[in-house]
């Protein structure tokens, strides 16, 4: 395969950027990859582990001459980073991002960019509970979806090129508009994360049950919540602050349903509970059939032998 | 190791009973194991796959001469099953159960049992989202906790003997009182399950996001909830109806915290969110250190290659 971009700049070097680097190299998809991270410690780590062909000491230096610039920073600082790199962008370059919220990012980034670059917002639906430059791996995007949100008037060619890059990294790609993206993700990601964080916080707070009991007996269900509640705090703070309306709407729906189930428990309405619990089984089956999760019991976790 | 019990009867032949059978056989822990299930189809399946040394057509026949009787039926029918087997129990036998709620089971079962048998309520904190006689496997209890709740006045010997059986099946065993058990499990299991069921139901209901979108994009967090929301509906209906007070108390605490976080989102209080999300990371670390979950990213799920 010929190279899709001659030079790519990764701004921010966490889980997603590092996985993109290894996935692009695995596929021989691009030429030189430069990288920049605000923290000197992260840049040192990147240099030590060979993450990026060249690690730069400023974002401006990293983007110079790049055909594709990927903003891999928390959603809350996308605008500031766009302003910083704007003067150095190569005419005709594509700028994209990997943020979990799209309306806000488009509004924060677009005004800073010159007319002669293309901004195509993006969001790979992939991740783990680990963060930082050393947590990335080439397979992260395999068979995961990547959603692209081109701004109005973007020509087809740069969108197709970016689509090919993501497909080369293993993803399935779809395009959608920003508001629909933000609603879909509020359901499939943002509300579930907030709920998981809440449940873990409640367990931590409960003085009548000791911490060690919560931890020892976590395999009864609770431990599943702790994985996504271990995700990066800065990233998630910014997601909730910038996808406020859709997240609050879904949480409102959630609370309504939860109250109905609590009422069924209080009044002893077993039929309501049984019907509800039967319906939710079918969704699991569909997710497995769609190749988006494993059918192995307990996610195929190995049984730990340490004590 | 010499055999801990000469004859064991398993009443109900689902995930837990079948895993107990294979675990007891793996360890050579017991002599003959009889089994009974209410459904003829389940009994046929058990005979076909060699689950139990002898599958009986009535509970009374299965418990005859048994030194240990294990009630592996939904919590809501424990009392009725106890009444049915009571006349056939061998003097000096131990009766135990594997239900997820303990106060209710003790109150439902104890009145039916003759004075010359020991009732020691039990709860192995292990399971998967699969159910039925074919879902069991010998390793299910390895390094998982089993909680025993002896009723007042039970002598030490039968409790110790049951402890040895569970240890032989791979478990770590603790004893606690029924009310504390029910509170601890409301936090670590019952409330998380209800919350997962609720979130999955909300996603299923949301007409503005299609089912196929919820499924396709589930890897962004939602899919984690669907696993526990695929658990057996009858079992869980009974759990909520019989551990009503503790579950409603924890759900009340959960709602309070969720409202505080929703308010932080609405008012843009990023510090509150960031602090909360930082605190919840530590619990995950402790669970991994306690050997109760894997540190592999995404629970070590394999990436699915089907489409």
Condensed to tens digits (0 to 9), the pLDDT of residues A85-125 reads 999 999 999 999 999 999 999 999 999 999 999 999 999 99
Q: Do A205 and B128 touch (CB under 8 A)?
A: no
CA dist A2 → A23, A25, A28, A164 (Å)? 15, 13, 8, 11
Is the pLDDT at B267 greater than 80? The verdict is: yes
Same domain, A64 and A145: yes
Which residue has better confidence, A171 or A279? Answer: A171
Same domain, B168 and B240: no
Cβ within 8 Å of residue B171, ≥6 positions away: B124, B126, B141, B142, B143, B144, B145, B146
| B217 touches A at CB < 8 Å | yes
For position A204, which CATH number holds?
1.10.3660.10
Same domain, A29 and A170: yes
The B residues from 78 to 137 touching A (CB cutoff 8 Å) are: 100, 125-130, 135, 137
Q: Do A262 and B248 touch (CB under 8 A)?
A: yes
Among chain B residues, the shortest Cα distance to A205 is held by: B253
Same domain, A208 and A157: no
Same domain, A76 and A196: no
Is residue A51 domain-resident?
yes
Is residue A307 domain-resident?
no
Out of A254, A280, A304, name the one closest to residue B143 (CB): A304
Question: pLDDT grade, residue A306 (50/70/90)?
Answer: very low
Closest Cα of chain A to B92: distance in Å?
31
**Average predicted confidence (pLDDT) for chain B:** 93
The A residues from 265 to 304 touching B (CB cutoff 8 Å) are: 265-266, 268, 270, 273-274, 276-281, 283-287, 290-294, 296-304
Question: pLDDT grade, residue B306 (50/70/90)?
Answer: very low
Q: Do the Cβ atoms of A179 and B247 come closer than 8 Å?
A: no
Give me the mean pLDDT over the B296-303 stretch. 77
Alpha-carbon gap, residue B156 to A136, rounded angstroms:
53
- The domain containing residue A65 runs over which residues? 5-176
Is residue B306 domain-resident?
no
Is the pLDDT at B215 greater than 80? The verdict is: yes
Is the pLDDT at B304 greater than 50? The verdict is: no
Best B203, B232, B270, B280 residue to mutate vs chain A (most A CBs within 10 Å): B280
Condensed to tens digits (0 to 9), the pLDDT of residues A267-287 reads 999 999 999 999 888 888 888
Closest Cα of chain B to A64: distance in Å?
33
Q: Do B302 and A300 touch (CB under 8 A)?
A: yes
Is residue A111 domain-resident?
yes
Is the pLDDT at B84 greater than 50? The verdict is: yes
Domain count of chain B? 2
In degrees and rounded to multiples of 5, residue A10 shows phi and psi of -105, 120
Alpha-carbon gap, residue B237 to A273, rounded angstroms:
6
Same domain, B60 and B168: yes
Is residue A273 domain-resident?
yes
Same domain, A239 and A166: no
The B residues from 143 to 182 touching A (CB cutoff 8 Å) are: 143-145, 147, 172
Q: Do the Cβ atoms of B277 and A236 come closer than 8 Å?
A: yes
ipTM: 0.90
Question: pLDDT grade, residue B283 (50/70/90)?
Answer: confident
Give the residue from B149, B176, B203 where a domain finishes.
B176
Same domain, A66 and A84: yes
- pLDDT recorded at residue A305: 38
Question: pLDDT grade, residue A307 (50/70/90)?
Answer: very low
Same domain, A28 and A172: yes
Q: Do A241 and B268 touch (CB under 8 A)?
A: yes
Is the pLDDT at B188 greater than 70? The verdict is: yes
For position A82, which CATH number holds?
3.40.50.720
Condensed to tens digits (0 to 9), the pLDDT of residues B48-69 reads 999 999 999 999 999 999 999 9
Condensed to tens digits (0 to 9), the pLDDT of residues B40-53 reads 999 999 999 999 99
Same domain, B131 and B202: no
Same domain, A172 and A184: no
Same domain, B35 and B151: yes
Contacts with A292 from chain B: Cβ below 8 Å = 215-216, 218-219, 223, 304
Condensed to tens digits (0 to 9), the pLDDT of residues B228-254 reads 888 899 999 999 999 999 999 999 999
Is the pLDDT at B157 greater than 50? The verdict is: yes
Closest Cα of chain B to A27: distance in Å?
17
Condensed to tens digits (0 to 9), the pLDDT of residues B109-122 reads 999 999 999 999 99
Is residue B304 domain-resident?
no
What are the respective helix, strand and coil percentages of chain B, to the nearest 5?
A: 55, 15, 30
Out of A209, A231, A290, name the one closest to residue B216 (CB): A290
Condensed to tens digits (0 to 9), the pLDDT of residues A184-212 reads 999 999 999 999 999 999 988 776 667 68
């Amino acid at each position: 395969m010929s190279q899709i971009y001659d030079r790519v700049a990764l701004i921010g070097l966490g889980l997603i950027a590092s996985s993109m680097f290894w996935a692009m190299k695995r596929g021989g998809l691009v030429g030189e990859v430069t990288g920049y991270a605000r923290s000197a410690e992260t840049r040192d780590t990147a240099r030590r582990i060979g993450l990026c062909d060249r690690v730069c000491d400023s974002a401006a230096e990293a983007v110079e001459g790049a055909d594709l610039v990927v903003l891999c920073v928390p959603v809350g600082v996308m605008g500031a980073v766009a302003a910083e790199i704007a003067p150095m962008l190569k005419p005709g370059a594509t700028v994209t991002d990997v943020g979990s919220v799209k309306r806000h990012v488009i509004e924060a980034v677009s005004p800073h960019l010159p007319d002669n670059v293309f901004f195509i917002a993006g969001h790979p639906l992939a991740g783990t509970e680990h963060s930082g430059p050393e947590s990335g791996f080439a397979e992260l995007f395999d068979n995961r979806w990547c959603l692209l949100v081109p701004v109005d008037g973007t020509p087809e060619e740069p969108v197709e090129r970016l689509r090919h890059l993501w497909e080369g990294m293993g993803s399935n790609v779809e395009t959608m508009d920003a508001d629909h993206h933000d609603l879909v993700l509020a359901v499939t990601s943002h509300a579930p994360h907030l709920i998981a964080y809440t449940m873990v916080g409640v367990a931590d707070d409960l003085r009548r049950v000791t911490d060690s009991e919560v931890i020892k007996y976590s395999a009864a269900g609770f431990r599943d919540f702790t994985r996504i509640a271990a995700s990066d705090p800065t990233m998630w703070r910014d997601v909730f602050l910038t996808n406020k309306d859709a997240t609050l709407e879904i949480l409102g729906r959630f609370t309504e349903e939860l109250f109905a189930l609590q009422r069924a428990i209080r009044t002893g309405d077993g039929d309501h509970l049984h019907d509800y619990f039967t319906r939710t089984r079918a969704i699991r089956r569909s997710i497995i059939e769609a190749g988006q999760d494993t059918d192995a019991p307990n996610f195929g976790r190995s049984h730990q032998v340490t004590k």
